[in-house]
Amino acid sequence: MEKPQVIITTVKRGDEITYPKKGNHLRIHFEAFRPNGEKIETTKDADRPFEFQIGVDDVIPGLQQILYKMTIGEKVKAEIPPQFAYQREGLTGIIPSNEKLIMEIELISITF
């Protein structure tokens, strides 16, 4: 049986120098979709970036895994299997249990 993994496709390269480290404060834009294309969450529509401390604040493991591999200015599209998203629980009324999540992510800034 194949081990599930996050699949990342680069849409736009970043500076290829500045990677986040645990404890850094990040600002990102993201859009999250169900596999059928239904948009379930976005920061872009209101132009309000999501800000959090990587490795400290509570975000899904797949998102953290992706961001550790990104550099400032980079945009990616990712397929996150349930094991790295909302797992068996799903997200009540939004994401059924054991469903993968599709995300488009842009790393705007890192504060060290």
**DSSP bridge pairs for 110:** 26
Query: So where are the chain's domains?
Result: 7-111
For domain 7-111, the CATH architecture is Roll (3.10)
Token duo for residue 38: 């239904």
Tell me the pLDDT tens digit for each residue of 37-59.
Answer: 999 999 999 999 999 999 998 89
Specify the pTM. Answer: 0.93
pLDDT score, position 40: 94
Band of pLDDT at residue 68, cut at 50, 70 and 90: very high
Which of the pair, 63 or 92, is modelled with greater confidence? Answer: 63
Longest dimension (CA), the chain: 42
pLDDT, the chain, mean: 94
Q: Which helix (H) or strand (E) holds 64?
A: helix 61-67
Token duo for residue 71: 């550099």
